[in-house]
A and B are shown apart, each in its own frame.
Chain A
Amino acid sequence: MSPKQLTLDGNEAAARIAHATNEVIAIYPITPASVMGEVADALSAEGQTNLWGSIPKIVEMQSEAGAAGAIHGALQAGSLCTTFTASQGLLLMLPNMYKIAGELTPTVFHIAARSLAAQALSIFCDHSDVMAARGTGFALLASNSVQEVQDMALISQAVSLKSRLPVLHFFDGFRTSHEIVKIDTLSNEQIRALLDERCIHNHRARAMSPDHPVIRGTSQNPDVYFQARESVNPYYQQFSQHLTEVMQAFGKLTGRHYQPYEYYGAADAKQLIVLMGSAVQTLQETVDHLNATGEKTAVLAVRLYRPMDPQKLLACLPASIQSIAVLDRCKEPGSDGEPLYKDLVTLVAQAVSQGTAPFTHLPKICGGRYGLSSKEFTPGMVKAIFEMLKAPQLKQGFTIGIDDDLSHTSLDWDSQFRTQASQAATSALFYGLGADGTVSANKNAIKIIGEQTDLQVQGYFVYDSKKSGAMTISHLRFSPEPIRSAYLIQDNEAAFVACHQSIFLQRPDLLNAAAPNGVFLLNTSTPPDQVWDSLPLAIQQDLIDKQLSFYVIDAYALAEQLQMGRRINTIMQSCFFTITELLPRETALQAMKTAVEETYGSKGGKITEINCQAIDLAPAHLHRVPVPDKVSQTAEALQKIPDSAPEFVRRITARLIDGEGDRIPVSQLPDDGTWPTATAQWEKRNIALEIPVWDTELCIHCGKCPLVCPHSAIRSKIFDPKEVEQTAPESFLHTPVKGKEFPPDYHISYQVAPEDCTGCGLCVDICPIKDKSQPGRRALNLQPLTKPLLQQEQRNWAYFLALPEYDRTKLRTGVIKEAMLTQPLFEFSGACAGCGETPYLRLASQLFGDRMLIANATGCSSIYGGNLPTTPWCKNAEGRGPTWNNSLFEDNAEFGLGMRLAVDHQTRYAQQLLQQLLQQPRAELDSALVDALLQADQSDEAGIYEQRQRVLQLRQQLSKSTSPLARELETLADQLVKKSVWIIGGDGWAYDIGFGGLDHVLASGENVNILVLDTEVYSNTGGQTSKATPRGAVAKFSAGGKATAKKDLAMIAMSYENVYVAQVAYGAKDLQTLKAFLEAESFDGPSLIIAYSPCIAWGNDLKHNHQMQDLAIRSGHWPLLRYDPRRLDAGNNPLQLDSKPPSVAYREFTGSETRFSMLWRSHEADAERYLQASQQESQRHYQHYAQLAALKPDSDEKE
């Protein structure tokens, strides 16, 4: 019987086997491994059992360290256990891995290999993480393809049980973990047949049990530790043999034969490349091509990396080998070679010295690095390495895939080189937006073709780094032969290119991938007879030069007609099948409909119905557009970064924005991870369809619109109208500012940045003013962003920016309107449209940005805050602004504390130097100035401004001094100005992985401000449950609703009694938020602000962000409070409850949010139970706070 075939990705392939063969699965989300945990959780939630008929217990832990600990415990108690992780997660598991291996405990950890954070974080693939685990005692097994991931997951399980060694089973993150292909699946019978029940029984027999007690984890002394460490050697020596046996058994069961080391290529090869991972496929494809042209090349795939078996490895190699390149997908700075290379050199040298080497001549060996952080690795690069291997002198420590003009390690390659295999495949490329369903449509297409034909399929999806308006590029290949191209579709390869969003037409490289005589499909609202003239020159030229067939469809119009919103996925999919005829038309239509039914289920109702209609109707809406002989478009000056931009931005950032980052040579990049801030302003994304337009007549200048804007795209400024009389564009709006606090006759302007606005509409929503005659109309109203409006507002925005900022020392920052006149130093981030987090960050940047140090935990805020090409933290006209760093996920509180300690120490030292300089015999400093510097009151903006002026004077005086102390003080003088240290992160950090550190920092008493952006889930990794997730909410890892209540972090922090604590929600009570930020910063001790942050992961449209916040407060879900220890000094209760008792039923709150309401449809009884519990809890919770707030504070005064 032929095996059942499924079209899936590497993560799912691993997770299915892990779920079928384990009992306890401890998980923690981390990209790109999160999906494995999600699949396992989904299988258990659906009631799927493992091989033995029980449903594996899935437990989400607070960190990977926690997951490893839980696994260690469960293993010791005799269960079959597994986990999934990557990168820093694996590093957190290392301590336990030594223990697990040291105790000879069988288990498999599945790893989607990912870069480690060094000069920067990267979510993409290399083997740095896996290599860091090579000393743990785990066996390391590599899978090179999705099929292998499934197979090796089982082989790992079997060999671990058999050998008693734990196995780290790894595969390439994204390239394999996220690549979708058709694989032969394993039946339960096959899985069962490979697992030796006796080994499982033995594992259980070794478990800790009071019925046969033992002790493990002893503390050993110098007398025995060493010997005991050596006692495990036989297990490692036998592992390779066990593995070979298991692989042979697997081959008998399935017909798929694997070896620990697999040689591929000419039997008499002269040049050999040795490597691990997905690139093995690219190597094999290229070796076939080269050998067909008479070359003598080969590749050795290392599957078993630890424990290395030199004999088996060398036994694969023919005597003819003359030169070897060993490729490592990692970098070990300071080493004279990376790990796999060093191992190869050692084992070859040992074999030669022992006379056991197979070679007739000692081959030359060199090591090289490739593919770090998913850098492309193509056949052209493989060819370049083989060419190098023919040279008399090999290039040691070479790199491939980059231009290293600094250390000259890189090899040149031919980017036009193509293999026959890649040319034989049919390739298709799709440009889409995240939300338009392009990716899911392509996944369906792959599945349909995979299941309906004998073709092999491959799908790989590339996302950009922004969260709002993110572009997706889908790379699809179909071929009658196995597809081994583990790289993106290259120039001139794609027989079909589809552009699902006409905004992408502006990319001049859009049709680079299109093959000659291929097809270009465009979704556009421009009528077919006008579309040609609407195309940019580069697109017209490519259509003509490559003789492409050109099709258009107005998919949005059809989607609108069918009430599909912006989901054009099935329409475009139907067009793809219609044009390509990869399947007979009727078969394709029926298969698409079946896929729709499978996706939305029999209960899909209207969605299923309209998607099926879309499939039927789309072909009739498709038009072929004749391609003329000549272009009709004149060259349009591409909008480039202006000359006024900083040199670095023009030289480097501009190229990253243009997608040319791969071509930037090593010498051009910062060597220590230091990049300039304030670069987001140069990346104009133009994603808004509508922008707010200000009505000067209605506006009362309350300042609420800039306060809520997630992207700092609407701002206010006041100025003397005389300054703008002559120079302002005619359309620039300004009006006399309301309020006596400003200079008489001053004007105010509210201006929108049209190219940076996302069109979320929150500014309009918050506007409290309504036109008396038309209550639906406000002082801000959304209008379609037409070209004239765009051009007009571009001019106005530029003019607005050039106006000077109002003197911030004259503003009362405790008043919303005035606080919003301060300059945002956080702008235009890539956060989601309507993001609930970013307004808090912008507010902090406005209030304290010019003296702010930020420690940012990994998560959404570190991605939209620090992901290249451009970053949002910026500078004021004096060049001051927040300085930002992301250390790790787990250590952020400690990281920020370190900053505080350093700043405080330097301040004290500077003060000490001041005094020392004053006491010097030849007084060089003005004593009054020194006194003022030492006694400065920096509690407000004016005080800080004055201190800065004093520092300037001090610098002048120091410059005249010859004292070495003066030179010392010059390096520290700025520390005499008060600094504000902010520790920022999400709830995943604060409630879970970083809680220990957070708790410690709160207890430290040091003056740090901790801002927790509480989205109540792990937002960045896709919405997994955290301890901040409320009871009854559906989230990943809580498909049946979270059963336990949200942790009360505020109460925990208050228990220290010396911590300033606030719980805020800007969309519900902005003034309370503002007060909390000001109080937190002014408090000389630890402050904790827990900020309610509605998130896209909740399933709601964030245009309702403010109503969501409002309901959360009014239902009692999120009480607003401030706990200020200073109030005790004045005899007041430190706790102030800022929200009223719950006035709205909790049911109304949960009913309005998808994360809760979806549970009513899937688990109604549980939903009701959780609701009742939460309702009571929220009341009780509020009353508890109210009672605390009503307590009379202790008084020392005697009656």
Chain B
Amino acid sequence: MDLHTNYLGMTLANPLVPSASPLSRDVAMCCRLEDAGASALVMYSLFEEELNSQHARQMQLLESREIGHSEATHFLPLHAEPSHALEQYLEQVQALKQRLSIPVIASLNGTSQDGWINIAKQLTEAGADALELNIYNVAADPLHSASDMERGYIELISTLRQVVSCPIMVKLSPYFSALGHFVQQLEDTGINGVSLFNRFYQPDIDPDTLRVQASIHLSRSEDALLSMRWLGILFGKTRLTLAATGGIHTAEDAVKMLLAGADVTHLCSVLLQQGPTALSQILTGISDWLDESPYESLEQARGVLSHLHSNDPTLYERASYVQLLKTGRY
């Protein structure tokens, strides 16, 4: 069975690509993922905020351990200075490139132009085959319009495109008013692909302490449907590589994404829960499905149920919502 796919200009053996997760902090685990069939690997995200907060921590540490009195001019062993998160990330890129034969995609979650540009350059110099950029700005300021936000992103990505030559993937939020139009603009910048969608860690409220706190929940299969809808809508309308991410837990989930139009499907929560064997099981499942399907290759199957090719494109649109409510199938 031909499971090959094209991803950011690279030919991958299959469409299963582990997405950014802590698993890629461990080189041995990455080798296991490759052995299980991963066709490429997106590394854990390097957050610009993390670099900034590490900086703040280091400054605080410098202050506190040099608090200075006669008996102790400093605290904590000076030689145990932690290495910088960026440095560690770059070392990990190099280590993974050395040990893996599949493409390694560095993932960057930046907040400022300076941060993106400088760090992106260093990541490619360290050997990353491609860059995944996470757009994660919450427009909390009511003075910022949607078009302001989009313009900001496009400017940033255009600049980045000019300074790095490797393929660039943009991982998008689902909260764009006109996603299709925005993807068009992204395509015009010269990037190579989009990934749908970024899952945001939503804040939560503890009613007992009356405190807002960060929360994290793993995805479920039904979370993938949002991505599927937009993959279906975008397929055939953009030259960009399309990646599905968020909620892909089974072979069936993955096949749905491919039928909607995805070039690759990213896996995360399922790997965190079940380990690399889940990947090989999904791969076998896709292969089995393809075996029994009327298609000879995944390439043939890709996008056949997209908005473009679907027998009822309206199902991708708002009308389906009304119908569902009417039939009570919820």
Contact = CB atoms under 8 A, between A and B. Distances in A.
A34 B73 CA distance: 11
Contacts of B71: 31-32, 34, 123, 863, 1020-1022
Contact of A434 (B59, B69, B79, B88): B69
Interface residues of B, number: 38
B78 to A, nearest CB: 7
B163 interface: no
Given A123-B70, A770-B210, A863-B71, A435 B63 contact: yes
Contacts of A34: 71-72
Contacts of A433: 68
Nearest to B52: A606
A41 to B, nearest CB: 7
A1101 B64 contact: yes
Contact of A565 (B59, B74, B77, B78): B59
Interface in A181-234: none
Interface string A353-381: 00000000000000000000000000000
A607 B58 contact: yes
A13 interface: no
B77 A1035 contact: yes
B55 A605 contact: yes
Contact of B70 (A440, A463, A1100): A463
A545 interface: no
Nearest to B88: A1161
B63 A463 contact: no
Contact of B76 (A567, A601, A1035): A1035
B68 A1100 contact: no
A1039 interface: yes
Interface in A551-570: 563-567
B76 A434 contact: no
Interface string B15-50: 000000000000000000000000000000000000
Contacts of B70: 31, 123, 174, 463, 465
B69 A1096 contact: no
Contact of A1101 (B60, B81, B84): B60
Contact of B78 (A42, A465, A770): A42
Interface string A1155-1191: 1011111100000000000000000000000000000
Given A31-B70, A775-B210, A1034-B80, A1096 B55 contact: no
B64 A605 contact: no
B218 interface: no
Which of B57, B85, B86 counts the most A-chain CB atoms under 10 A from its CB? B57
Interface string B175-215: 00000000000000000000000000000000000100000
B68 A45 contact: no
A653 B210 CA distance: 48
Contact of B83 (A607, A832, A1040, A1162): A1162
A603 B87 contact: yes
A435 B77 contact: no
A1096 B64 contact: yes
B88 A1023 contact: no
B45 to A, nearest CB: 17
Contacts, number: 154
Contacts of B57: 1154
B66 A1022 contact: no
Nearest to B91: A603
A1020 B72 contact: yes
Contacts of B77: 38, 41-42, 45, 1034-1039
A1099 B55 contact: no
B59 A1039 contact: no
Contact of B74 (A470, A1022, A1161): A1022
Nearest to B25: A1164
Contacts of A527: none
B62 interface: yes
A564 B59 contact: yes
Interface string A1002-1046: 000000000000000000111100000000001111111000000
A1155 B76 contact: yes
A1099 B59 contact: no
A434 B73 CA distance: 8
Contact of B67 (A606, A1096, A1159): A1096
B79 A42 contact: yes
A1023 B80 CA distance: 13
A892 to B, nearest CB: 18
A290 to B, nearest CB: 33
B75 interface: yes
Contacts of A708: none
Contacts of A863: 71
B80 A606 contact: no
Given A467-B67, A605-B86, A1162-B81, A1022 B75 contact: yes
B76 to A, nearest CB: 5
A576 to B, nearest CB: 18
Contact of A472 (B55, B68, B81): B68
B61 interface: yes
A1036 B76 contact: yes
Which of A564, A606, A1038, A1096 counts the most B-chain CB atoms under 10 A from its CB? A606
A601 B79 contact: no
Interface in A604-626: 604-607
A46 interface: yes
A435 B72 contact: no
B62 A1154 contact: no
A926 interface: no
Contacts of B83: 601, 603, 1161-1162
Contacts of B58: 607
A650 interface: no
Nearest to B209: A768
Nearest to A30: B71
A489 B124 CA distance: 54
A470 B55 contact: no
Contacts of A606: 51-52, 55, 84
Contact of A437 (B55, B62, B75, B76): B62
Contacts of B64: 435, 1096, 1099-1101
B83 to A, nearest CB: 4
B72 to A, nearest CB: 3
A433 B57 CA distance: 20
Contacts of A533: none
A1158 B54 CA distance: 11
Which of B54, B58, B70, B84 counts the most A-chain CB atoms under 10 A from its CB? B70
Interface in A410-450: 433-437, 439-440
B214 to A, nearest CB: 11
B79 A467 contact: no
Nearest to A374: B70
A46 B76 CA distance: 15
A1034 B87 contact: no
B63 to A, nearest CB: 4
A397 to B, nearest CB: 30
A1099 B84 contact: no
Which of A123, A434, A607 counts the most B-chain CB atoms under 10 A from its CB? A434
Contacts of B60: 565, 1100-1101
Contacts of B75: 1022-1023, 1036, 1096-1097, 1099
Contacts of B73: 439, 461, 463, 1022
27 contacts: A34-B72, A42-B78, A45-B77, A45-B79, A46-B79, A123-B70, A123-B71, A174-B70, A434-B66, A435-B64, A463-B69, A565-B59, A605-B51, A605-B55, A605-B86, A607-B59, A1021-B71, A1023-B75, A1035-B76, A1035-B77, A1036-B75, A1096-B64, A1096-B65, A1100-B60, A1101-B64, A1161-B85, A1162-B82
Given A435-B67, A463-B70, A1021-B72, 5 more contacts: A435-B63, A435-B66, A437-B63, A567-B62, A1160-B82
Q: Which 8 pairs show the lowest CB-CB distances between chains A and B?
A: A434-B68, A1161-B82, A1022-B72, A605-B84, A1023-B75, A1039-B77, A603-B87, A31-B71
Interface of B: 51-52, 54-88, 210
